[in-house]
Amino acid sequence: MFATVPNPIPARMKGLNRAEICDVNFQEFVRNWQGQVQPKPAPDEAILDGSALDARGFRELFESQLISRHLDLMARVLRVQNKVFYTIGSSGHEGNAMVARATRHTDPAFLHYRSGGFMAERFRKLPGMDPIMDSALSFAASAEDPASGGRHKVWGSKPLWVLPQTSTIASHLPKALGTAIAIETAKRLGTGLPVPEDSIVICSFGDASANHATAQTAFNAASWTAYQKLPAPVLYVCEDNGIGISVKTPTGWIGESFRHRPDLDYFFADGLDLVTGYDDVLRAVEHCRRTRRPTFLHLRTQRIMGHAGTDFEIEWRSIEELCAVEAGDPLLRSAAIALESGLMSKDEILALYEDTRRKCFAAAEDADRRPRIETLEHVMRPLAPYTPDAVQAEATRAPSLEARIKAFGGEDKLPEKQAPKHLAIQINQALHDLLAKYPETLLFGEDVAQKGGVYTVTKGLYKAFGSKRVFNTLLDETMILGMAQGFANMGLLPIPEIQYLAYLHNAIDQLRGEACSLQFFSNDQFRNPMVVRIAGLGYQRGFGGHFHNDNSVTALRDIPGLVVGCPSRGDDAAMMLRTLAALAKVDGRVTAFLEPIALYMTKDLYEAGDGQWLTEYPAPDQALVLGEERVYNAQATDCVIFTFGNGVPMSLRAARAIERKHGWQVRVVDLRWLVPLNHAAIAKHAGECERILIVDEGRFSAGIGEGVITAITEAGFGGKPLKRVVGADTYTPLAGAAFLVIPKDEDILAAADALAS
């Protein structure tokens, strides 16, 4: 439709880098433009005949494109001076500004890293905001960066409802869908929403990312939801530039893959042309908002200036190909529209171009003079907020008696009035209490509703609280955790269930890379509180193998900001759940509740029929303190056993045998809290006892026991006699062979014998 730059590029420009070439291209294109000029349109008139975009709107979109471009150019220049620390640019993707214009600032957005145009345009939605200065502070890693506080270059804004993303290689797609589902869920529950009820969710990504398993699971879940006539107003924006770093996307692949996908409504828009593209973007947005269906917007873009500043495309792409790509620069098309329509003259465009450059460089120089993060405490400040007094007050705040009576089906059925029960029942009763206490709580996962879970732990919750609050999901742990984040984003308190610990590993990036990083990368402006229930650990009999006896706690220990609790008995489980929920509610924390499957139904401790592993239900105003251990035989000083989960009853039995054999008084410490470990408590008990045993049912490498040993050694008690009883570095085999690879009672006694010798 419009003229393009000469191809091949003039010889005098071949020695320049591609950013300089694109800069010169634009200026020469404007100066040399020779097209016909129409009468200048009024601000509210169509920029060109037949377009839904008026002149004012076009002018603003063009300005947003120029802001995005000059931020990229500025970053390339100032990176070599260590004034800017990020050069993945948005050049060629500036057409995503149309998506920002067609949507609202209250439509939650999860953005691709090439979203400079989108952000510049969305900044117009609220008065008094400065897209150039805010972006410059982020590029400079300034502590005054309003998005992340200088922790990462992210596109984000609390007032503009842009939740910050980092690498965004598809990992944000599940939580975007979860947020869309959450909008509709909160409307049905009547719990209130932080955004308008007709909001939609925007989620942008690249064509290469569309192939990622995490993206595919989100698309499948979106279609699965729509197939059942459930509303899910998410607008997936695939910014198709035809290449991922250096790997080309097959021509036509995105359109062929998504045009006919069932229950994912497909739209195409040309992101290189504001006039023809805007109408199609507007249609997609309006369709998503009106129908509340998942919508796929295939936005044509171009990647110019390479993947990032370190990507020297000339080394692996031909000069002819690069020239062709640069000839498709969307800013050239926008300049031609401005000229042909009569809206702007050549001099006006060039003056705006240079004025935008000046503002971007001035903002960057200003940002470089601002404070940066200089202490570890400052780095970690938003990662894991903890206000112990407020958490304890919330954890010990009981639900109303009326709500409890309704949840349990009568005052005489309140759990504290019942006989002592085993772990599974106490967890179930605690979940009843939590759902009674927090009307915004949702419990969901595979088989949790009518069936009540594989082990009946959630039995009765569906009947007590209904399908709006207790429901089954598709069999997809990635999406379960993605939905949890979405619900949390919209003010709900999710309790997702991961049916087995082994099933978590294929989805764990939803915790590691997404849920637990949000407070950190948003400087604690956004939170996604949740309590993730995970059934796991070993020692199941008659139902075994790796996937049902997984002892890999290490994967959870490595996630910054996560809290992991692991009860071994029913009363602890109930009180721990209250604390985890309070941590989520008060401090926005992501928490995990690791349930030892083999102890679910355990009633006896020392011998059959003794009932010593049954516990009374703690009153609803009782809760644990984060990090607080349970100590058995606290006066003993001959030996201390540190353990958790299944190791607790084993260690208690072993302690009795050790006392008989060696005459030692043995203290058993149930750590209960696995992340973070309470180093002070571990050091205290180690210092008070002569010998140390560690019973860790995890693997030899990277288990909880290693953390315990570290705490002991760093406290200065590493010279004491110490033994570790731990599982083998292997997957768990089937049937009786499973018990060859995990600790047994007799292994603990053998370790004590070694200490005695």
pLDDT per position as a tens digit, 270-326: 999 999 999 999 999 999 999 999 999 999 999 998 888 787 788 888 889 888 999
The single residue listed with the structure tokens 């998005």 is 147
Please report, for the domain that includes residue 527, its CATH number.
Answer: 3.40.50.970
Percentage of residues in the chain with pLDDT exceeding 70? 97
Residue 8, preceding peptide bond in cis (omega within 30° of 0): yes
Entry field: residues in the chain: 757
Which tokens belong to 722?
Answer: 């110490």
Of 372, 397, 431, the one marking the end of a domain is: 372
Of 372, 399, 416, the one marking the end of a domain is: 372
Per-residue model confidence as pLDDT tens digits over 227-267: 999 999 999 999 999 999 889 999 999 999 999 999 999 99
CB atoms within 10 A of CB 251: 9
Within the chain, how many helices (H) and strands (E) appear? Answer: 27, 19
Q: Say if residue 318 is in the same domain as residue 172.
A: yes
Determine, yes or no, domain membership for 311. Answer: yes
Q: Say if residue 174 is in the same domain as residue 102.
A: yes
Of 326, 346, 372, the one marking the end of a domain is: 372
Q: Say if residue 236 is in the same domain as residue 96.
A: yes
The predicted model gives 436-452 an average pLDDT of: 97
Determine, yes or no, domain membership for 562. Answer: yes
Q: Rounded CA gap, 63 and 68, in Å?
A: 9
Determine, yes or no, domain membership for 377. Answer: no
Per-residue model confidence as pLDDT tens digits over 492-525: 999 999 999 999 999 999 999 999 999 999 999 9
Per-residue model confidence as pLDDT tens digits over 29-69: 999 999 899 999 999 999 988 888 999 999 999 999 999 99
Q: Say if residue 367 is in the same domain as residue 423.
A: no
Determine, yes or no, domain membership for 533. Answer: yes
Q: Say if residue 591 is in the same domain as residue 642.
A: no
The predicted model gives 548-554 an average pLDDT of: 82
The predicted model gives 430-434 an average pLDDT of: 98
Determine, yes or no, domain membership for 696. Answer: yes
The predicted model gives 477-504 an average pLDDT of: 96
Determine, yes or no, domain membership for 636. Answer: yes
Q: Say if residue 341 is in the same domain as residue 461.
A: no
Residue 431 has pLDDT above 70, yes or no: yes
Instruction: Answer for the pair 221, 479: CB distance below 8 angstroms, yes or no.
Output: yes
CA 132 to chain centre: 27
Q: Rounded CA gap, 101 and 56, in Å?
A: 12
Instruction: Answer for the pair 699, 728: CB distance below 8 angstroms, yes or no.
Output: yes
Determine, yes or no, domain membership for 608. Answer: no
Nearest to 602 by CA among 425, 455, 422, 419: 422
Q: Say if residue 364 is in the same domain as residue 411.
A: no
Q: Say if residue 565 is in the same domain as residue 418.
A: yes
Of the listed ranges 80-89, 212-221, 478-487, 496-505, the one predicted with least confidence? 80-89
Q: Say if residue 717 is in the same domain as residue 742.
A: yes
Alpha carbon distances (Å) from 448 to 228, 467, 495, 542, 590: 19, 11, 11, 22, 21
Q: Say if residue 639 is in the same domain as residue 728.
A: yes
Domain limits for position 689:
630-756
Instruction: Answer for the pair 225, 174: CB distance below 8 angstroms, yes or no.
Output: no
Amino acid at 619: A
Confidence of residue 16 (pLDDT cuts 50, 70, 90): low
Residue 741 has pLDDT above 80, yes or no: yes
Determine, yes or no, domain membership for 188. Answer: yes
pLDDT of residue 543: 64
Q: Say if residue 451 is in the same domain as residue 354.
A: no
Q: Rounded CA gap, 68 and 348, in Å?
A: 19
Q: Say if residue 652 is in the same domain as residue 579.
A: no
Please report, for the domain that includes residue 672, its CATH number.
Answer: 3.40.50.920
Residue 13 has pLDDT above 70, yes or no: no
pTM reported for the whole predicted model: 0.95
Question: For the chain, what is the domain count?
Answer: 3
